[in-house]
Amino acid sequence: MPQHIKRLIGAFAAVLILFLIMQLVLRPSSFGKIGHFRADAIPENKMKPIRYAGSDKCTECHEDMATDKAVGFHSVLQCEVCHGPGLKHAKYANKFKDGELPDSLKLHKPDERRECAICHQLNAARIKIVFDTINNSMLKQIDALKHNPVDKRTNEKLKCIDCHNPHQP
């Protein structure tokens, strides 16, 4: 066998041995117990605090918004997609029913143009109308620069929600 082939086999063998040693040292102990993944990932994820309440929970106190949304184009969206995780809010908001919510219980209201554009901005990398077969919906995209009405009095860009009701766009 020529010398250079012998060296090559030697080099491959060295890399293979190094790989096996590293695998022994670095592989997490629970890997492969129940599948090709780290079994500890399951209890670790279970220990994470729950943060979302689910839209049904929101409906219990905000029936008007839920009724609006149910018949509009946004019926496919969950409340918390826009408002963020709301479990704490759903648990404790009623204590402040007749007053102002403390900041820690307030939910985000996505009223800025860029926040609607996260889903609706026309993107050359996407087809113009994305058909979502899971939700059976058409996500229409606009060019937020052209779809760009200006308030004539102040010359400022209008917010999307000046014209569109976010719950029933």
Contact residues for ligand HEC (CB under 6 A)? Answer: 53, 55, 57-58, 60-62, 65-66, 69, 73-74, 76-77, 79-83, 86, 89-90, 93-94, 96-97, 101, 106-107, 109-111, 113, 116-120, 137-140, 142, 144, 147, 149, 158, 160-164, 166-167, 169
CA distances from 4 to 7, 15, 28 (A): 5, 17, 38
Nearer to ligand HEC, 12 or 92 (CB): 92
Using DSSP's 3-state secondary structure scheme, residue 97 falls into coil
Q: Which is nearer to ligand HEC, 18 or 81 (CB)?
A: 81
Would you say 29 or 155 has its CB closer to ligand HEC? 155
Residues in Cβ contact with 168 at an 8 Å cutoff, skipping those fewer than 6 apart: 68, 69, 71, 72, 73, 74
In this structure, what DSSP letter does residue 18 have?
Answer: H
Q: How far is the CB of 154 from ligand HEC (least distance, A)?
A: 13
Nearest to 114 by CA among 134, 139, 144, 88: 144
Q: Which is nearer to ligand HEC, 39 or 142 (CB)?
A: 142
Rounded to a whole number of angstroms, the minimum distance from the CB of residue 31 to ligand HEC is 36
Question: How many beta carbons lie within 10 A of that of residue 143, not counting itself?
Answer: 12
